[in-house]
Structure 1
Amino acid sequence: MCGIVFAYTPAAPTTAATLAAMAGALRHRGPDDEGHLLWHPHDAAFGPPRLLAGADTPATVQQAHTPWQPQGRLEEQPRLAAPLAMGHRRLAIVDLSPWGHQPMVRAGRWHVVYNGEIYNHIELRAELEALGQRFLTHSDTEVLLAAIATWGPQAALARCNGMWAFALLDTERRTVLIARDRFGVKPLYVWRGEGGALLLASEIKALLQHPAVRSAPSTAACAAYLQRGPQAWREETEFAGITRFPAGHFAEFSLDAPGALQPRAFWHRPPAANTDEPFSPQRAQALCGRYAELLEDAVRLRLRADVRLGTALSGGLDSSSIAALVNTQLRAAGRDEKQETFSSVYRGATVRSADESTFVERVVQQLGVRSNLVEPVASEVPRAHEHMVWALDTPPAGTLMSSWHTFALVARRGVVVTLDGQGADEQLAGYSRYVRNRLVHAPLAALPGEVRAFMKLQGFGSAIAIGLGGQLLRRVAGRGAVAALAARLRMGGDPARTVDEALAQDFHTHLQTLLLYGDKTAMAWSVESRMPFMDVRLVEFLATVPPAYKIHGGWTKWLARQALDARLPRDVAWRRDKMGWAVPEPAWFEGAPSPLGTWLQQQLQGSAFAQQAAASAGLSIAQAPLPQRLRLLNLAVWHRLFFEEAGRPGRLLGRGMPLQVTA
């Protein structure tokens, strides 16, 4: 995993100094190496693209006789300028040799800066070799280049199982191919200027280093954030003029006719199968077997790395499942080392509502892994919070202190890659709100059994009432009447949707925000987060599993629980208290005593921008619920870091960040 930048500014060429600054803003994403390219596509005297080293380029890269060996150093010619510039920061994970350096070149024609991992690169390499392609490295980057050269972008991307964002210059066709993975795991931001100018980067802070960018807060996006929270699936960002390249799309950009980007989708989530299919024990057994098989193979592919790996373990079903399957794969491969797990815990008397250490310990004991624990403390939050907001580029929903400190601990232990449990809930119906959708649309034959099962449990009374009332209203007046009533009552979610429709909606929206959190909080510490639940084979399989096997017998996520039941402690596999990397924010900001209540108040009172945003939204800061006050806090700190502080110095990111916690 890495960081990339691309600039095409025909009217005002990008200087070497600007390119270095843009790439330097991404050093935390790639502390192991850097490489650059400058080219003047309309000036034959400039010659072919110039490949240049940077301050962090290892000597071994400059000495290796590769086709993409740097022919000079960027800092030695800061006034060198060209209309087209590309930069790359490398976090070395696969093929640690100098041959993994980027920009990588193939056939003297294709030049790529690429961020991500193609997990099935070994299988693709074999397929390409059978077609006559030859390789110089063991890197997945070279496989990506060969795949596109052989099959073209649409077919090549369809074959790739992984996460990515890249810019690929084709000097023969004089085009740039831009692409982002199916699910939006890897970020890619876009800025367009006059005369066809185009900038791309893995993070917004890199775009802000270019002198052509004069960004300001987007009033509309900030207002939407304050009212509805972060929406990472939308094109617009909180920075005016800076957008997101859409997930699951690619675009070709012509250097000779640089018009509007026209992204084209290369993947679509499969449609749901028979949503009314009744539960069958025989069918359930087959589905459980297929689910476990796909998830285990997704884990196997994601263990491909030439660096130390670990697992972020929250103690919930999803991360515990990944930890168990990692253990299985390590044994199958004959690897003797113990798996490293990393967890945030809260054992203090006032913060135990967010503590999952009991479940973490049970998983650790059963699997025999080496457990690493970190306990975030309130006194460290103000400083850590500033680094987190700077890392994310855009304000998140809360403080994210559990994931932030977990990845900090991962970095402290020298682990570079983690396998994590993100992405299961939006595919397997893990949230309790999906119960309403199930009851509103359940076949009449299945409805009594489902209702009886949930009536035995605490906390589902409202879901049962809405489900039964919605079922009746749907049959009498239609789905539209259910949707209208839900909107009038301001229900969260939409019970008028079927389970499959609700899952598809959350998959394409809410999940992208969570994936953004996973990427940015991990990469802030120079750690790559891999997500087996986002394996395309598993995603496509789960999209077609009927709701009867996802919500069954009073259980959400039934299929996942049943499939992994024998591999996990029973009270973990069948947990009901879903927490999901909880943070004790009520205790920190509203408790008695409230260690961060005064700090929160000071931050809001000291931010004219936050006060103006609250007033525009008709929001009383003093009476606002905590989630909205935390959004205001994030908005205040975000505005201060990116727009108020002189020179936008930001905050240190990467392995050298300070961290004072009990670990």
Structure 2
Amino acid sequence: MCGIWAVFGISPEKIRHHETSAKISHRGPDAWRIEYDNRLKNGCLCFHRLSIVDELCGMQPMKRIFNPHLTLLCNGELYNCERLSEEFGFKYESHCDVECIMHLYDKFGADRTASMLDGVFGFCLVDAKKRRILIARDAYGVRPLFRLTGPGGVLGICSEAKGLIHLVDGPEYKLDPFPPGTFEEYELDLEGRATLIRQQKYYTIGDKPAYRMAVLEKDYSDDIYANIRTVFTAAVKKRLMADRRIGCLLSGGLDSSLVAALLVKLANEANLPYKVQTFSIGMGDESPDLVAARKVAAHIGSEHHEVVFSEKDVEDVLKDVLYHLEIADITTLRASIPMFLLARYIKEKTDSTVIFSGEGADEVAQGYIYFRDAPSEEEGHKESLRLLNELYLYDVLRTDRTTAAHSLEVRVPFLDHQFSSYYLNLPKKLLQPQDNVEKYVLRKAFDGLDLLPKDILWRHKEAFSDGVASKKKPIFKILQETIEPLVPNEALAEAEKRFPQCTPKTKEALFYRQEFDSNYPGQGHWLPHFWMPRWSDATDPSAQFISHYAAE
């Protein structure tokens, strides 16, 4: 996890570092570099580094001797860098995984570069000789990337919008999340003005990856449960790539527990020189998540840490979370607060830097409670794909921003290309909840192995922002009580006039939107719609308003 920033078509004297690239310094506290390339008039690149792999040679903007015309900015982890070297004979000049991007481009050009990468990334590659820029983002948008375009050939890219917002100078400037699974190619004229040549989708969710996979298809068996175990274990194993200490978020639900259990098992097999740390959070010692996570940690033998937070903590960090989040979605904000507090603890109290998470399982495996109400297996599958295509606006955005705010790198094995493509291509009937149990096939694949306690493996679904508290007073009620005196009634009455796009209907939603608008004025279009359960008459996104909710 790092921070990348680049601007083309704006003269250097108009760029104020403290208002632009410095705004993402939390993403890379270990080192930073800003560079003006004389070969590219009005081109400026900046990198904030969090050292994870190859501390000596991994600094960016990256240049290499084999092609000195290329300059790379990349925030990402590429797990097949060694396989690419074996397959194509690449001779790396460092041990830094992202160097493979430069070799792929040198060999194949823009067409195949992004599609050959197994990992998560947002990158900007500048070819000074051809005067071309290649920008790309990973398939699910796990790594963030924003793009700014403006009159006169202005082009900017940044890991977070806060690094570009001060360059927006009127309605002709467009600042948007860069679409996942996509690359764009630009041409630079002699004045450094950028012109879009093409935008191309290189990956469709559910398709098989274009690169040689970690588990070859010929090694699949006729047993789908064995294949799920094999592919998901490989997804966790490849993400052990790090020179920093690895830990894992652990709520005690199926997703994070499964990741934590496999992580501890594989770390022990790899003889890592430390014990894997696990982290859970709750309001009071007996919050559902803390109780369940405690049981999992004892079973798998992790070094477990618990964080207990209060209503005052929620109030204290609310505005900070809204600033870092860069979205005004109700569900996303609610779930971000405990994750933000937990990430702060990890940064301040431990030496874990690479953090595993169970994000993505609900979208891949139809894990939300409302999937029980899907009218057909086909509709359930369509909803799963819709959620996966929008992950970069909601859950993976939350996971990235709350951890990156505290200079941590998050890794999400459920969004591994090979695992997700295999799982999504199982018979649609199998993917649905069975006997009122979500993610039945995933649970069944790991049943009987003693990897987890049985009651954890089959634990009912519990929304994260609710599980950290209790049904008596979940976090959304705490937030509503905190916000109530801050928003006058007349402001809510005027909300539709002020915010016609995704109009806030409650004081809670209006407060989030007002704060968002003060940080990112005129950018409400980043939120296409509020996250809400489907096939339900619920008026609030909390899982507690779905009839199937079973948490205590």
The aligned residue for residue 160 of structure 1 is 117
Between the aligned partners of 1:265 and 1:536, the Cα distance in structure 2 is 16
Q: Structure 2: which amino acid aligns with 1:502?
A: E
5+ residue gaps, structure 2: 209-219, 523-552
Cα drift, residue 336 of structure 1: 5.3
User: Are 2:174 and 1:241 equivalent residues in the alignment?
Assistant: yes
Identity, % of aligned pairs? 25
Q: Deviation per CA, 1:49-89: give whole Å up to 9, x if none.
A: 6xxxxxxxxxxxxxxxxxxxxxxxxxxxxxxxx51111111
The aligned residue for residue 358 of structure 2 is 421
Match of 2:342 among 377, 400, 406: 406
Between the aligned partners of 1:570 and 1:511, the Cα distance in structure 2 is 32
On the 8 A contact 2:110/2:185 being kept in 1, the answer is: no
On the 8 A contact 1:378/1:588 being kept in 2, the answer is: no
User: Are 2:163 and 1:206 equivalent residues in the alignment?
Assistant: yes
User: Are 2:509 and 1:631 equivalent residues in the alignment?
Assistant: yes
Match of 2:60 among 102, 110, 115: 102
SS in 2 for 1:100: coil
On the 8 A contact 1:316/1:572 being kept in 2, the answer is: yes
Instruction: Report the CA distance shift for 1:258/1:637 in structure 2 as closer, same or farther (over 3 A).
Output: closer
The aligned residue for residue 305 of structure 1 is 242
- Structural mapping, 1:14-53, within 5 Å: 14-15=12-13, 18-19=16-17, 21-40=19-38, 48=39
Cα drift, residue 521 of structure 1: 0.7
On the 8 A contact 1:19/1:87 being kept in 2, the answer is: no
Match of 1:527 among 403, 408, 431: 408
The aligned residue for residue 206 of structure 2 is 270
The aligned residue for residue 452 of structure 2 is 568
Cα drift, residue 23 of structure 1: 1.8
On the 8 A contact 2:186/2:194 being kept in 1, the answer is: yes
Cα drift, residue 394 of structure 1: 2.5
Match of 2:488 among 594, 601, 605: 605
User: Are 2:272 and 1:335 equivalent residues in the alignment?
Assistant: yes
SS in 2 for 1:433: helix
Match of 2:437 among 550, 555, 580: 555
The aligned residue for residue 363 of structure 1 is 296
The aligned residue for residue 473 of structure 2 is 587
Cα drift, residue 587 of structure 1: 2.8
The aligned residue for residue 138 of structure 1 is 95
Between the aligned partners of 1:260 and 1:159, the Cα distance in structure 2 is 22
Q: Deviation per CA, 1:349-373: give whole Å up to 9, x if none.
A: xxx6x63112111101111111111
- Structural mapping, 1:217-256, within 5 Å: 241-256=174-189
The aligned residue for residue 545 of structure 2 is none
The aligned residue for residue 78 of structure 1 is none
TM-score of the superposition, structure 1-length normalised? 0.70
Q: Deviation per CA, 1:337-396: give whole Å up to 9, x if none.
A: 221001112226xxx6x6311211110111111111111211122221111111112223
SS in 1 for 2:351: coil
Instruction: Report the CA distance shift for 1:113/1:271 in structure 2 as closer, same or farther (over 3 A).
Output: closer
Between the aligned partners of 1:640 and 1:362, the Cα distance in structure 2 is 43
On the 8 A contact 1:589/1:600 being kept in 2, the answer is: no
On the 8 A contact 2:165/2:520 being kept in 1, the answer is: no
Between the aligned partners of 1:381 and 1:606, the Cα distance in structure 2 is 23
The aligned residue for residue 173 of structure 1 is 130
On the 8 A contact 1:26/1:89 being kept in 2, the answer is: yes
Between the aligned partners of 2:314 and 2:243, the Cα distance in structure 1 is 34
Q: Structure 2: which amino acid aligns with 1:267?
A: Y
Between the aligned partners of 1:409 and 1:607, the Cα distance in structure 2 is 39
5+ residue gaps, structure 1: 41-47, 50-81, 217-238, 273-282, 443-496, 645-663
Between the aligned partners of 1:560 and 1:102, the Cα distance in structure 2 is 40
The aligned residue for residue 371 of structure 2 is 434
On the 8 A contact 2:122/2:143 being kept in 1, the answer is: yes
Instruction: Report the CA distance shift for 1:571/1:588 in structure 2 as closer, same or farther (over 3 A).
Output: closer
Between the aligned partners of 1:155 and 1:611, the Cα distance in structure 2 is 52
Q: Deviation per CA, 1:546-601: give whole Å up to 9, x if none.
A: 1332333442211111112221111110112423353549837886xx6x666412
SS in 1 for 2:77: strand
Instruction: Report the CA distance shift for 1:189/1:636 in structure 2 as closer, same or farther (over 3 A).
Output: same
Instruction: Report the CA distance shift for 1:539/1:414 in structure 2 as closer, same or farther (over 3 A).
Output: same
Between the aligned partners of 2:406 and 2:316, the Cα distance in structure 1 is 15
**More deviation in 551-560 or 285-294?**
551-560
Q: Structure 2: which amino acid aligns with 1:587?
A: K
The aligned residue for residue 87 of structure 1 is 46
Instruction: Report the CA distance shift for 1:3/1:606 in structure 2 as closer, same or farther (over 3 A).
Output: farther
Cα drift, residue 242 of structure 1: 1.4
The aligned residue for residue 124 of structure 1 is 84
Match of 2:104 among 136, 147, 151: 147
Q: Structure 2: which amino acid aligns with 1:419?
A: F
TM-score of the superposition, structure 2-length normalised? 0.83
The aligned residue for residue 504 of structure 1 is 385
Pick the structure with greater CA Rg: 1
User: Are 2:320 and 1:320 equivalent residues in the alignment?
Assistant: no
SS in 2 for 1:498: helix
Q: Structure 2: which amino acid aligns with 1:389?
A: L
CA-atom RMSD in angstroms: 2.9
On the 8 A contact 1:346/1:356 being kept in 2, the answer is: no
Q: Structure 2: which amino acid aligns with 1:163?
A: V
Between the aligned partners of 2:357 and 2:490, the Cα distance in structure 1 is 36
The aligned residue for residue 306 of structure 2 is 373
The aligned residue for residue 398 of structure 2 is 517
On the 8 A contact 1:19/1:85 being kept in 2, the answer is: no
The aligned residue for residue 224 of structure 2 is 287
Between the aligned partners of 1:605 and 1:302, the Cα distance in structure 2 is 48
Q: Deviation per CA, 1:590-625: give whole Å up to 9, x if none.
A: 86xx6x6664123213996x6632555799x9xx97
SS in 2 for 1:123: helix
